[in-house]
Amino acid sequence: MKDLRVERDVQTETNKIEARGVQVFYGTNHAIKDVDVDILDKTVTAFIGPSGCGKSTFLRCLNRMNDTVASARVEGKILLENEDIYDARVDPVQLRAKVGMVFQKPNPFPKSIYDNVAYGPRIHGLTRNKSELDEIVEKSLRRAALWNEVKDRLHAGGTGLSGGQQQRLCIARAIATSPEVLLMDEPCSALDPIATAQVEELIDELRTDYSVVIVTHSMQQAARVSQRTAFFHLGNLVEYGETGQIFTNPKDPRTESYISGRIG
Amino acid sequence: MSDASINPSDLPQKSESLLVPSKLMRRRNAAETRYKAYGIAAIVISLATLGIMLITIFSDGISAFSQATLRFPVTMDAATLDPKGNRDIAEMTKVTTVGYKKVLEKSLIAELVLRQVAVDGVSEKDIGAFISGDAPARLRDMVLADPSLIGQTIDFSAFATGRIDGYFKGRVTMETAKLDSNISPEQLQLADKMQEAGILDVRFNTKFFTNPDASDTRPESAGLGVAIIGTLYMMALVVVLSLPLGVAAAIYLEEFAPQNRFTDLIEVNISNLAAVPSIVFGILGLAIFINFGGLPQSSSMVGALVLTLMALPTIIIATRASLRAVPPSIRTAALGIGASKVQMVFHHVLPLAMPGILTGTILSLASSLGETGPLLLIGMQAFVVNYPSGPLAGGVMEPATALPVQVYAWAARSDPAFIERASGAIIVLLAFLLVMNIVAIILRRRFERRW
Amino acid sequence: MSVFMLLVVIAVLALVGFVIGRQRALASAAGNIKEMHSLPLYYGWHGALMVIVPSLFALTFWLVIQPLVIERQLVGYFPPEVVESSAARTLAMADVRRVAEGLDIAIAQGAMTEVQADMVRTEFGSVRDRLADVGVALGAEVTPQILTAAQDYRKYAVVGNIGRSILTFLVALAGLIYAIRITNKDFRARNRVEQVIMALLSLSSTVAILTTVGIVLSLVGESLRFFTMYPWQDFFFSLTWSPNFQGGSDLGLAPLLWGTIYISFVSIIVAAPIGLFSAIYLAEYASPRVRSVVKPAIEVIAGIPTVVFGLFALVTLGPILRDWIAEPTGWGNSGSSVMTAGLVIGILNIPFVSSLADDVINAVPQAMRDGSYGIGATKSETIRLVILPAALPGIVGGMLLALSRAIGETMIVTMGAGAAAKLDLNPFEAMTTITVKIVSQLTGDTEFDSPETLVAFALGMTLFVLTLGLNVVALYIVRKYREQYE
């Protein structure tokens, strides 16, 4: 499969998210240990590592999805454009409109395709009237490369689409609220290879507007879509840098073991 | 959600600070709080109603366990009770309760005189009206059982009538007494003096648990004796009938039944029977067991049969659930060492499922304990004053009544004293239920197994 | 020999069968268990089962058949019009049995001798009085036919009871002998015992079908008899209900059905929002601690007998509604009303709705919630816009089940709704329901040959069809809903 990275330049070096000394506890289990990381704007950042290494947990800290788990406790600072998202004044609901999320398994609501995409704009009050909403829905579906496939059946159920289409619908749903960051938790793990390729291509396109953070268990995928890669192991951030450097010239022996398939 | 309700100024501006909630966000959070409040309100309403209901029942009913009682020496006047003076039982049975009532009345008045209680214009007849209608009958039974009592003076205690009793419990007041033809304020004043003099006191009423029902005019002596016996008979029969039958049916359906239309038919029947209104089971009992089968009306046997049919679906469903909860590894292990399927079920699966089965049975028994409608149709609301015989002497075939039915029967009577009795009966009924549920919980806690 | 004694005899023979079966098998293998096909215990059980099962079947068979045979013998004593009508025949037979029992009691108490009991004639004085002396109350004076029939009944019963004892004993004995003869070390006792157990198990499972058959037969049979006495058009379409035991009744279903539906409607208005919102709170907002306390507390409501709710309606809620709402507004002056009964049934149904709603809400996958939270929806928006629409079919099914329970509820309406059958819209009027009328037509002194009594069976039939229909629809919807997420 071709390397998508060469087609677009890395546009920016400005930091979108800065995480400092992040610790996560599930009850007594110390899931994330003192992680510092900077996520760049308009860049795809991949989190890789063996299962249970904490990469998904850390991802879920970035839009405070861990708040919905009663036993989870987060310490440290995560700054989104220099504002601490764990500040007491921050409403996680408002945060999540800025930091959208796409999940491992496609989870469209049991509503029509249109209503799925319109859900976010409606609750966040992004539109004044129906035509504006129509516009957002169309734009989002186009952005998610789904418009041509569904434009004739916008009011059919979202659950009737194929797996890859469902996942792209979920991406459209997430970008309809015009977020600044998109978090993707193994977005292709439930898809077949062709659908995976489509979604990967889409992720690369999204980089022009958003900062994308993707968790993946596939190193090939990380190599294909991301510009920066972070390797997690046992709750620690072992190594973080340019994707090419991580895969060709890892500094830490643990990264090398993982890349070469000795641990995982 | 309507889009029109959103003002342009509410629209979130790009890159606005997260630290300042937008106007819309404030509105959304208010909606959130409201929604949560609805939930709390719903819970508070349900629990408050439950609380109010239980509190009213208890405050109405707790007084049923105490009773205003008169205690005074009774002189067994030989001239009235045994006019011929030869202590011949056959002769003495001719003296009716009216004669005994006179004896009691005279003795009470004599006691008042002795204790220097001023009667203040209350007539002798009205003083006699203090004594419950069941006291003369009890005295008569005592004398007929032991004629030597005649001529003696014995200590006797008799219930005060429902109105006097009600006065000490706050149900009857001076104001209501003025309007009541059965009682006068003067009588109530006298009652106060009698209490001071120690002739009358309010004490714990064991007779409430043992006496049979009593007629409309003497609520004070109505008790739950027959109802408790009837309920115990029925519960025992329901266990004996429904447990083996229900468990056998459940074992068959869960472990052995082939997948075919007949099995499906049984399954559909069980799930539908669980939802058939209870009154329909009463019609079934009336038509099949009484009219067709010729079993006696009002008997605990018919009641138990009806309740058994009602309890079976629940027991079968509960048993199947606990059989299913036994992990397959136990089954394969048993089969693997050469047990037959029947041996596997009876030696391994059933003992492990037993706590669950018993819990389910107790809970379904608890719900049959409270059933009323179907028992009305098979005649158990009847006025029964004779205790049924012992269980081996055919007592289950004799007329009886049941606790919930007794509640209904008393609630339907006009004298408010019976509302107190009905609430008291509910307290007894709830106590039974509480015990059963506690047993079920203990069983579950003690034997609960995590696989 | 009484049935109880017979059971004792069977038990003793079964014990004998157990011991002999076991020992014979052991003896034939010379005490070497390894030579036997099954464990010794199974030979014992085989012996016992061969005694118990056939003899109990014989006994049950006899107990069912004997009254039918005797009735056929006695039919000759009854006048033709009694023989014609099955209801009258049932009543006459009940009289006969009652008199016969009375004679038995009289003999047992020594008030009569056997011979006297056979010789008693109505011409020589009131049999009713003589029986009343021994504590047997009869509704009416005994006719000569009934008395002769009763005397014959006693004779047949004696013969029948002897026959019963002999048959049961012989069957038990035959089973014992068969078991003893067949038992040796090569006999496959375990397989045989397991076959018998399987047969008994599958027989028990048919009890559910038998119950349904019993319900349907008793409802259909008596309803058909009702419709031979009273035109079905009037029952279903007449708008008045005024039964009159002297005849000339109007037995129209409409006012009862209206009362039933109105009260059930009020109850759903109460139970649906309260039940639903408490379920939402418990499922989505409450902490595990709160949930573990509140959920069982709400379920306590479901465990309280309905007669308690009935008393609450009668004594507390009814008067409150009357004194505080109905009378000040001039809407009515009755404590029993549609409102009283509807509110109380609604309260009764709260835990039912709440636990069903809890189930369906929990069946909505977590992924749906994550999807909604992930793009910044609040909890209430997620519940309102995602979870409830997804759970809607299940919730509708649950409401239908609650409606069906409200329609079939008896005690609360009997004590709280009133007895007046009317077609009215005012919820503070007393109205009545199908179940109330079933109770009132079938309690007290009833004669099973008048339309006023038999109408209860037609009402029961209506109720059964109504609730069954609702249940089938509701269960279908709920099942479809569950399949969606499995």
Q: If you write DSSP's letter for every residue of B355-369 in order, what string do you get?
A: HHHHHHHHHHHHHHH
Which A residues 165-194 touch C at CB under 8 Å?
A: 170, 173-174, 176-177, 179, 183
pLDDT for res C137: 63
Residues C36 and C181 in one domain: yes
How far CA B183 is from CA of A31, A86, B68, B98, B111, in Å, comes to: 80, 76, 15, 21, 21
**Could you tell me which residues come within 8 angstroms of residue A165 by beta carbon, excluding any fewer than 6 positions away?**
A146, A149, A150, A195
Task: Tell me, yes or no, whether C236 lies in a domain.
Answer: no
**Inter-chain CB proximity A94 and C376 less than 8 Å:** yes
**DSSP of C302-349:** HHS-HHHHHHHIIIIIHHHHIIIIIHHHTS---SS-HHHHHHHHHHHH
**C447: amino acid identity, one letter:** E
Q: Of A3, A45, A42, whose CA–CA distance to A231 is shortest?
A: A45
State the alpha helices, DSSP H only, in A86-191.
Answer: 92-98, 113-124, 130-143, 147-150, 163-175
Domain boundary among C154, C184, C205: C205
Q: Which of the listed ranges A11-25, B115-129, C166-180 does the model predict with the highest average pLDDT? A: C166-180
Residues C183 and C251 in one domain: no
Q: Are C46 and C21 in contact (CB under 8 A)?
A: yes
pLDDT at B220 over 90: no
pLDDT for res A2: 44
| Least confident range of A68-82, C303-317, C440-454 | C440-454
- Band (pLDDT 50/70/90 cuts) for residue C484 is low
Residues of C in contact with B261 (CB under 8 A): none
SS3 (DSSP) at A230 = strand
Task: Tell me, yes or no, whether C438 lies in a domain.
Answer: yes
Give the integer Cα–Cα distance in Å for C114 and C132. Answer: 18
- Return the structure tokens found at A128: 């004044």
A18, β-bridge pairs: A38, A79
Question: Which other chains touch chain C, taking contact as 3+ CB pairs less than 8 Å apart?
Answer: A, B
Q: Are C308 and B426 in contact (CB under 8 A)?
A: yes
**Inter-chain CB proximity A83 and B4 less than 8 Å:** no
Residues C200 and C265 in one domain: no
- Band (pLDDT 50/70/90 cuts) for residue C354 is very high
- Phi/psi region, residue C248 (left: phi>0; alpha: psi -120 to 50; beta: rest), is left
The ipTM is: 0.89
Q: Extract long-range pairs of B168-174: CB within 8 Å, 24+ residues apart.
A: B168/B68, B168/B195, B168/B202, B169/B63, B169/B66, B169/B202, B169/B420, B171/B63, B171/B416, B171/B417, B171/B420
Residues C185 and C247 in one domain: no
Pairing of strands A211-215, A181-185: parallel
CA geometry: angle C464, C470, C472, nearest 5 deg:
95
Buried b (16+ CB within 10 A) or exposed e, B240-256: ebbbebbbbbbbbbbbb
pLDDT for res B285: 92
> Which residue of B265, B372, B419 is in closest CB contact with C411?
B372
pLDDT at A12 over 60: no
Task: Tell me, yes or no, whether C231 lies in a domain.
Answer: no
**C28: amino acid identity, one letter:** S
**DSSP of A52-70:** TSSHHHHHHHTTTGGGGST
pLDDT for res C470: 92
State mean pLDDT over C264-292.
93
Task: Tell me, yes or no, whether C229 lies in a domain.
Answer: no
Give the integer Cα–Cα distance in Å for B254 and B266. Answer: 12
Choose between C72 and A239: higher pLDDT.
A239
Is residue A78 packed enough to be buried (19+ CB in 10 Å), middle (13-18) or exposed (0-12)?
A: buried
pLDDT for res C415: 92
Give the integer Cα–Cα distance in Å for A109 and A159. Answer: 7
- Return the structure tokens found at A236: 């620690």
Residues C112 and C254 in one domain: no
Task: Tell me, yes or no, whether C228 lies in a domain.
Answer: no
Q: Round the CA-based radius of gyration of chain A to a whole number and report it.
A: 18
Residues C313 and C404 in one domain: yes
Domain extent at residue C254: 241-484
pLDDT at A7 over 70: no
Mean pLDDT rounded to a whole number for chain C: 85
Chain A residue closest to C381 (CA)? A123
Give the integer Cα–Cα distance in Å for A249 and A263. Answer: 17
pLDDT at C307 over 60: yes
SS3 (DSSP) at C246 = coil
pLDDT at B40 over 60: yes
Cβ–Cβ contact C378 with A under 8 A: yes
Mean pLDDT rounded to a whole number for chain B: 86
pLDDT for res A9: 52
pLDDT at C265 over 90: yes
Q: Of B26, A144, C372, B21, whose CA–CA distance to A136 is shortest?
A: A144
Task: Tell me, yes or no, whether A133 lies in a domain.
Answer: no
State mean pLDDT over B109-127.
83
| Least confident range of A66-80, B89-103, B335-349, C296-310 | B89-103
Give the integer Cα–Cα distance in Å for B58 and B39. Answer: 29
- Band (pLDDT 50/70/90 cuts) for residue C136 is low
Give the integer Cα–Cα distance in Å for C431 and B118. Answer: 53
Choose between B18 and A86: higher pLDDT.
A86
Q: Are C176 and C13 in contact (CB under 8 A)?
A: yes
pLDDT tens digits along B361-420: 998 999 899 999 999 998 888 788 888 877 776 778 888 899 999 999 999 888 888 999
Task: Tell me, yes or no, whether C45 lies in a domain.
Answer: yes
DSSP 8-state symbol, C137: -
Phi, psi of C35, rounded to the nearest 5 degrees: -80, -15
pLDDT for res B233: 93
pLDDT at A3 over 60: no
Choose between A253 and B381: higher pLDDT.
A253
pLDDT at C257 over 80: yes
Q: What is the CATH number of the domain that holds A45?
A: 3.40.50.300
Give the integer Cα–Cα distance in Å for A208 and A7. Answer: 12
Q: How many structural domains does chain C have?
A: 2
Q: Of B419, B433, B436, B437, whose CA–CA distance to B59 is shortest?
A: B419
Which C residues 336-355 touch B at CB under 8 Å?
A: 347, 350-351, 354
pLDDT at C124 over 80: no
Cβ–Cβ contact C68 with B under 8 A: no
Task: Tell me, yes or no, whether A87 lies in a domain.
Answer: yes
Residues C344 and C253 in one domain: yes
Residues C109 and C255 in one domain: no
Domain extent at residue A35: 4-105+175-259
Give the integer Cα–Cα distance in Å for A82 and A90. Answer: 13
Phi, psi of A209, rounded to the nearest 5 degrees: -110, -30
Give the integer Cα–Cα distance in Å for B210 and A98. Answer: 74
Could you give the percent of chain B with pLDDT greater than 90?
Answer: 32
pLDDT for res C288: 87
For residues B353, B359, B364, B369, the Cα torsion angle rounded to the nearest 10 degrees is: 150
State mean pLDDT over C375-392.
89
Residues C169 and C281 in one domain: no
State the alpha helices, DSSP H only, in C75-126.
Answer: 80-84, 86-108, 114-119
pLDDT for res B6: 41
B75, β-bridge pairs: B153
Mean pLDDT rounded to a whole number for chain A: 87
pLDDT for res C140: 65
Q: Of A183, A181, A169, A184, whose CA–CA distance to A116 is shortest?
A: A169
Phi, psi of A72, rounded to the nearest 5 degrees: -85, 145
pLDDT for res B241: 92
> Which residue of A96, A107, A108 is in closest CB contact with C376?
A96
Chain C residue closest to A103 (CA)? C371
Which residue in this structure is represented by tokens 């109007």?
C250
pLDDT for res A5: 47
Task: Tell me, yes or no, whether A62 lies in a domain.
Answer: yes
State the alpha helices, DSSP H only, in B385-416.
Answer: 403-411
Which residue in this structure is represented by tokens 């249970």?
A52
Could you give the percent of chain C with pLDDT greater than 70?
Answer: 92
Residues C140 and C267 in one domain: no
SS3 (DSSP) at C126 = coil
**C452: amino acid identity, one letter:** E
Residues of A in contact with C288 (CB under 8 A): 70
Question: Which other chains touch chain B, taking contact as 3+ CB pairs less than 8 Å apart?
Answer: A, C
Task: Tell me, yes or no, whether C355 lies in a domain.
Answer: yes
| Least confident range of B68-72, B116-120, B342-346, C141-145 | C141-145
**Inter-chain CB proximity C298 and B411 less than 8 Å:** no
| Least confident range of A10-19, A33-42, B381-390, C438-447 | A10-19
Angle between helices C86-108 and C40-74 (to 10 degrees): 110
**Inter-chain CB proximity B22 and A94 less than 8 Å:** yes
Residues of B in contact with C2 (CB under 8 A): none
- Band (pLDDT 50/70/90 cuts) for residue C212 is very high
State mean pLDDT over C477-482.
78
- Return the structure tokens found at B153: 């003076």
State mean pLDDT over A224-245.
91
Task: Tell me, yes or no, whether A124 lies in a domain.
Answer: no
pLDDT for res A16: 86
pLDDT for res B138: 85
Task: Tell me, yes or no, whether A29 lies in a domain.
Answer: yes
**10 Å Cβ neighbour count for C141?**
11
Q: How many structural domains does chain A have?
A: 1
Choose between B236 and C421: higher pLDDT.
B236
**DSSP of A3-55:** -GGGGS------EEEEEEEEEEEETTEEEEEEEEEEEETT-EEEEE-STTSSH
pLDDT at B432 over 90: yes
pLDDT tens digits along C326-350: 888 888 888 889 999 999 999 999 9
Q: Are A258 and A233 in contact (CB under 8 A)?
A: yes
Could you give the percent of chain C with pLDDT greater than 90?
Answer: 31
Residues C281 and C428 in one domain: yes
Task: Tell me, yes or no, whether C223 lies in a domain.
Answer: no
pLDDT tens digits along A160-175: 898 889 999 999 999 8
Chain B residue closest to C87 (CA)? B291
Chain C residue closest to A67 (CA)? C373
Residues C184 and C257 in one domain: no
